[in-house]
């Protein structure tokens, strides 16, 4: 009977996958909205190649409240999966402000001029290019770049108002070793598990400004949904409903958009950009 049930799940799941497509199928498997969602979950739990691999990663990490093992595997050394390299080469010849990691720059610059923060923290600073660009522009403001490794960033950038800290940023914030007025990140919060993201928001109770820019994949769409909820996208990456999370944490959303951003290696890519203020 068990083998027959598995065959039925495989056949029915494959048919559903063919009808609704990969992205919607995977979202259904996580949300389990009805019997079809439960079928998708059963199919992903034992089949479907990459979908099955992703579903196992989702199941293993959906309740983890710190950095996941798979994220640490990708970001736990000096290379930091590309961004930590001394030179970041996946630029398509664009200036920093026109790269995906530079999309936060105008929002952070406007916030610095408007809010007058004393300390601005970048979480996931990589090779430090973005925070160094801002530090050079605003020499009277103190900037800190934090990452698991800052070897390349510290060697590349030397400014009197800029420092780099090699640490897990959540511990720094929870223990009060750093107290920023503003926090920003690019392609970093998408690495956080749902529990880890909530942990960061809880640890940032005194942060007035939070600016996030993240890639969006697997057909997920950002809306002004008031629910703080998350879905796993791929490998170490998560989709978070930032409008819901930040609003629940007391931030007023001042900028919220999903922008199409065509990389040479992914022409149909999208990026969500969020700016929240808590006065």
Distance (Å, whole) CA 111 – CA 140: 14
Distance (Å, whole) CA 152 – CA 134: 18
CATH number at residue 116: 3.40.50.150
Structure tokens at 127: 């090779």
126 and 170 part of one domain:
yes
151 and 40 part of one domain:
no
40 and 76 part of one domain:
no
31 and 155 part of one domain:
no
- The per-residue pLDDT for range 222-264, each reduced to its tens digit, is 999 999 999 999 999 999 999 999 999 999 999 999 999 887 7
Cβ within 8 Å of residue 276, ≥6 positions away: 209, 210, 211, 242, 246, 249, 251, 252, 253, 254
Total structural domains in the chain?
A: 2
- For 164, the 3-state DSSP assignment is strand
- The per-residue pLDDT for range 168-212, each reduced to its tens digit, is 999 999 999 999 999 999 999 999 999 999 999 999 999 999 999
- Structural domain span for residue 34: 2-61
User: Per-residue b/e over 57-77, b at no fewer than 16 CB within 10 Å?
Assistant: bbeebbeeeebbebbeebbee
55 and 116 part of one domain:
no
205 and 73 part of one domain:
yes
Distance (Å, whole) CA 262 – CA 244: 27
84 and 125 part of one domain:
yes
């Amino acid at each position: 009977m068990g083998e027959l049930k598995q065959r039925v799940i495989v056949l029915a799941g494959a048919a559903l996958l063919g009808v609704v497509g990969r992205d919607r199928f995977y979202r259904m498997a996580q949300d389990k909205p009805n019997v079809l969602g439960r079928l998708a979950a059963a199919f992903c739990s034992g089949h479907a190649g990459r979908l099955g691999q992703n579903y196992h990663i989702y199941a293993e990490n959906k309740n983890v409240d710190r950095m996941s093992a798979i994220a640490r595997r990708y970001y736990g050394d000096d290379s930091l999966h590309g961004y930590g390299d001394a030179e970041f080469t996946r630029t398509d010849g664009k200036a920093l402000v026109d790269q995906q990691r530079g999309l936060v720059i105008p929002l952070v610059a406007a916030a610095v001029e408007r809010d007058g923060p004393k300390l601005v923290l970048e979480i996931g600073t990589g090779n430090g290019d973005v925070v160094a660009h801002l530090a050079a522009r605003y020499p009277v403001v103190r900037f800190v770049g934090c990452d698991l490794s800052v070897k390349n960033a510290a060697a590349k950038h030397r400014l009197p108002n800029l420092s780099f800290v090699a640490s897990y940023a959540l511990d720094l914030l929870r223990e009060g070793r750093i107290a920023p007025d503003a926090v920003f990140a690019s392609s970093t919060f998408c690495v956080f598990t749902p529990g880890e993201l909530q942990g960061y928001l809880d640890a940032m109770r005194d942060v007035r400004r939070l600016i996030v820019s993240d890639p969006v994949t697997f057909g997920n769409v950002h809306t002004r949904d008031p629910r703080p909820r998350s879905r796993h996208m791929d490998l170490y990456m998560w989709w978070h409903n930032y409008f819901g999370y930040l609003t629940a944490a007391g931030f007023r959303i001042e900028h919220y958009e999903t922008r199409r951003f065509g990389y040479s290696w992914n022409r149909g890519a999208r990026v969500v950009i969020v700016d929240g203020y808590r006065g």
